[in-house]
Amino acid sequence: MITYGTRDVALDAVGAPTVDLSEREPLELTGGEILQTVYELPFTGFAERIPPALHPTHPPLAHMFFYKVPDSPVGPFTMAQVRTSALAGISRWSYPIAGWVDNADAADYFGRRWGYALAPAAVDLQRRHDRIWGTVAVDGRVILETGMFDPEPVNGTDATHVGHLNVAHVDRDGAVQPTLVQAGPQLSFRRCDRGRPQLVTYDLGAIGGDEPYWAVSAYTGTCNFLFSPVSFICDPNQPVMDGGLILSGSLQAI
């Protein structure tokens, strides 16, 4: 039996950015750093985390990641996100739970281009020889701290970073509607390490969602990020294959 999400997307549309689909220039960010840790989530209520356009995964996963960028059109920034795993047909995606960035101009830019809802916070990513860790602090209180230790070098193609589907307001046929917007960077690694994930702090009251409980994987590295223009958008209340509008390329290519 195929299971679809049951989340009311109106909950996530409150305060969501408005995406300008007319902006078609790709964005390449060089010399960045990434940290991603993946943890399992409880099965209880798993369909309630994602909208009806998507299928839940088995097991459900929390993707926690940090992007640190030394230079961009809006200046340096460090971004963090927590997302939950989802499927659209057989394609793997992630749906937002929470996100933060330490640069207000970056929040505006990524919201307008790709629908990222990023709250202001002190976001930090630190590296030592034996581990790397990221923190998010709001009003001086750490609400998220996760990292990786015992790094071992791997090929960058071994690092999986699934695409993002964000909730944003989009003008569709003259009406502004909550819409799922395709996003997420392609990664080109200069160095990549895998290691053991560690989750030190996950403040449920500040972040939302459900508490991750079982470590799955982690990787970190130095890389370039390539954000392509939005390729497709989707009605959040219909299955992607029925309610999607392809702007460029094809669903098979995304």
How much is the mean pLDDT over the chain? Answer: 93
- Amino acid identity of 29? L
Q: What would the pLDDT profile of 191-203 be if each residue is shown by its tens digit?
A: 999 999 999 999 9
- Dist. CA 252–CA 148, nearest whole Å: 33
Where do the H-state alpha helices sit in the chain? Answer: 10-13, 104-114, 204-207, 240-243
Q: Answer whether residue 246 shows pLDDT above 90.
A: no
Q: Which residues contact 165 (CB under 8 A, 6 or more apart)?
A: 53, 54, 86, 88, 93, 94, 95, 180, 181, 182, 183, 234
Confidence at residue 26, expressed as pLDDT on a 0 to 100 scale: 97
Q: Cα-flanking dihedrals φ and ψ of residue 107, to 5°?
A: -60, -45
- Amino acid identity of 41? L
Question: pLDDT category, 241, cuts 50, 70, 90?
Answer: confident
Confidence at residue 254, expressed as pLDDT on a 0 to 100 scale: 35
Q: What would the pLDDT profile of 87-146 be if each residue is shown by its tens digit?
A: 988 889 999 999 999 999 999 999 999 999 999 999 999 999 899 999 999 999 999 999
Helix (H), strand (E) at residue 43: none
Q: Answer whether residue 61 shows pLDDT above 60.
A: yes
Q: What would the pLDDT profile of 149-170 be if each residue is shown by its tens digit?
A: 999 999 988 898 999 999 999 9
Contact between 254 and 91 (Cβ < 8 Å): yes
Predicted structure pTM score: 0.94
Question: pLDDT category, 251, cuts 50, 70, 90?
Answer: very low
DSSP state of 119: E
**E-state strands within the chain:** 27-40, 61-69, 77-88, 91-101, 119-120, 122-127, 131-138, 141-153, 163-172, 175-183, 186-202, 214-227, 232-234, 244-246
Q: Answer whether residue 213 shows pLDDT above 70.
A: yes
Q: Which residues contact 54 (CB under 8 A, 6 or more apart)?
A: 4, 5, 86, 87, 88, 93, 95, 165, 240
Cα dihedral 46/51/55/58 (nearest 10): -20
User: 254: helix, coil or strand?
Assistant: coil
- Dist. CA 122–CA 63, nearest whole Å: 20
